[in-house]
Amino acid sequence: MTYHVECFLRRSSLNSFLLPAVLGLSIGLTTPIDTKPATQSPVAADMQSKDTAPDTHDISGRWVGKKSSPMGEMEIVYQLHVQDGKITGTQTLPFGDSPIVDGQIAGDSLHFTVELESFGSIQKREVSGKIVDDTLVLTPAMPGPPPGVGRGGPEPGMSPPGSPTSGPPAPGPSGEPGTGPPPFRMGPVTFRRGTPTPSFRAPSVDYSKLPRIALPTLHDIPSNGLAKTPPMGWNSWNKFQTHIDDATVRSIADAIVSSGMKDAGYRYIIIDDGWQGSRNTDGALSPNPNFPDMKALVDYVHSQGLMIGIYSSPGPRTCGGFEGSYGHERQDAKIFADWRMDYLKYDWCSASRIWKDTDMQAAYQEMGDALEKTGRPIVYALCQYGRAGVERWGAKVGANLWRTTMDIRDRYDSMASIGFSQSELASFAGPGHWNDPDMLEIGNGGMSADEYRTHFSLWAMISAPLIAGNDIRNMNPGISAILLNKEVIAIDQDPLGTGGKRVSSTGDIEIWWKALASGDNAVAIFNHSNQEMRAIVSWDTLGIGKDYAVRDLWAHADRGTTSKVFSQPLPAHGVIVLRLHQLK
């Protein structure tokens, strides 16, 4: 069915839009376990094995449970310590450790509280269970959406930090491809004494005993002069999560060049969480054996005419449970600079177990100072999910970009709830400092081609970093046509660097507008509905004169001038992006 919708471009109605309800249905926990070689396993190293059946008084030791999820098998581990009927210990999910507090055991029943972390919020969750023969049957505690934090959420379908954001497309309600992973709820899991799958994750931290580092007094760090336009590149997380290694990074660098992405502007190859090994006695951090020679890898990426980035956290652990930079900020910055890294993504996660949101600016300044001190130009990317009004202080700590939302997932509702929430942040974007609504999911399989075009267009309209997150070695032509659309990339990379804004919202149609350096205007018309619509734009009612040439940046076609009403079909969840050029 085709609907007829009148769209008006009204610059006076910037804030009149209410976000559409695009919330998912349930917690989407879809995390595969790490399957790394058995070397360097702190988890295995302190494993305590017991072959005897538990009695009701001693369930101390390590318990391993597996749960299948839509994304594969997930491993959950409990390290329990029982004394005088009280239980303490750690719950380990594939995305990090959480302390167990206030636990009790009575007869064959046990009950304890887990302190989880979710996008910077600490959440207490209760776990109850029973001893059944020689097993424990427990329903593990999972983080939920944090209360009212960040944009783009909370949505019930979100993933906790550190968990995968993409996966095989699941059929939609009517069997059409690609509305993301199906809902998944954690139920009871049977745990047995055993050995967890080895990984390079760092050992658990007892946060109550951790020495507190002093935070610096606030001061403004001068701009590093980088990222005059929004950074473009590729990041390992959305596709590979922690399954990333030297060979994959090299082959991605090759593909960036051979696919034409380098020529289109994609320059930074960013290694996200999962590269870390352990620290030596001097505190120097090494990569894990999946990255046998980081300097050689960096040299290889540079030799392709590309730049390379890395990931860490101001906390002791990253979101994936790997070694963070807490207390080693200067040392790590120097190591990153010695490796000749060009970009650092710095992700809050476990820092929320130590500091409050009001400490965030100082904690991020600590690394900003450390990077500046290295003397190496390093793009500084903050990742703290848009908390604490980061758009107001990000640039002061030397940041070139800051995440404004929780994690994106490869489904339309997640992408739309994030992307369409960014209008109010437009004034904070500018050359050298950008709002970052998270990385691209284009090509990961969870959205339709029209939805991916909407994703790319919206990110371009708001001057967001364009960081691809798919396996660019195996892109089909439809996906590369999206990522390589140079006319849309030019909107993102426009040197004026203003953030685009919503200027009209009528039913399921909204219009965004962005001023460009040449005096041209970019106009994007979005269709939220899952039906095709017809967009009709009456330019004269919009304050746009009759003397602009209209170019359609997805059709790569000229559409006459603004002397005529614009009228085109607009696909479900689709977009039309126009560039208006004033004729002399």
* Interaction site with ligand GLA (CB under 6 A): 161-162, 237, 272-273, 318-320, 347, 383, 407
The set of residues, in sequence order, having a beta carbon less than 8 Å from that of 256 and lying 6+ positions away, is 234, 262, 266, 269, 304, 306, 472
Question: Shortest gap between Cβ of 322 and ligand GLA (angstroms)?
Answer: 8
| Rg of the chain, C-alpha, whole Å | 25
To which H or E segment does residue 125 belong? Answer: strand 121-132
To which H or E segment does residue 365 belong? Answer: helix 360-374
Minimum CB distance to ligand GLA smaller for 79 or for 318: 318
The set of residues, in sequence order, having a beta carbon less than 8 Å from that of 420 and lying 6+ positions away, is 19, 20, 458, 502, 510, 526
Minimum CB distance to ligand GLA smaller for 193 or for 239: 239
Catalytic residue among 272, 273, 407, 508: 407
Question: Shortest gap between Cβ of 187 and ligand GLA (angstroms)?
Answer: 24
Question: Shortest gap between Cβ of 225 and ligand GLA (angstroms)?
Answer: 25
To which H or E segment does residue 415 belong? Answer: helix 412-419
Four-residue CA torsion sign, 218, 221, 227, 228: positive
Question: Shortest gap between Cβ of 63 and ligand GLA (angstroms)?
Answer: 24
Minimum CB distance to ligand GLA smaller for 161 or for 178: 161
Minimum CB distance to ligand GLA smaller for 272 or for 450: 272
Minimum CB distance to ligand GLA smaller for 403 or for 453: 403
Minimum CB distance to ligand GLA smaller for 241 or for 365: 241
Q: Please say if 407 is a catalytic residue.
A: yes
Q: Please say if 293 is a catalytic residue.
A: no
Minimum CB distance to ligand GLA smaller for 272 or for 329: 272
Burial of 349 (0-12, 13-18, 19+ CB in 10 A): buried
- In 3D, which of 500, 503, 504, 493 has the Cα closest to residue 514? 500
b/e map 277-312, b = 16+ CB within 10 Å: bbeeeeeebebbebbeebeebbebbeeeebbbbbbb
Question: Shortest gap between Cβ of 29 and ligand GLA (angstroms)?
Answer: 13
Amino acid at position 185, single letter: R
| Tokens linked to 206 | 């007892």
C-alpha 143/C-alpha 166 separation (Å) is 18
57: phi then psi, degrees, rounded to nearest 5? -105, -15
C-alpha 397/C-alpha 361 separation (Å) is 7
| Tokens linked to 471 | 């396996």
b/e map 25-35, b = 16+ CB within 10 Å: eebbbbbbbbe
Minimum CB distance to ligand GLA smaller for 323 or for 494: 323
C-alpha 431/C-alpha 492 separation (Å) is 12
The DSSP annotation for 203-265 comes to PP--GGGPPPPPPPPP-PPPP-S--SS--EEEESHHHHTT---HHHHHHHHHHHHHTTHHHHT
Amino acid at position 445, single letter: G
Question: Shortest gap between Cβ of 149 and ligand GLA (angstroms)?
Answer: 13
How many CA atoms, within 13 angstroms, populate the side-chain half-sphere of residue 478? 11
Question: Shortest gap between Cβ of 332 and ligand GLA (angstroms)?
Answer: 16
C-alpha 55/C-alpha 572 separation (Å) is 59
Minimum CB distance to ligand GLA smaller for 180 or for 320: 320
Catalytic residue among 347, 410, 436, 450: 347
Torsion of CA 332, 334, 338, 344, to 10 degrees: 60
Instruction: List active site positions.
Output: 347, 407
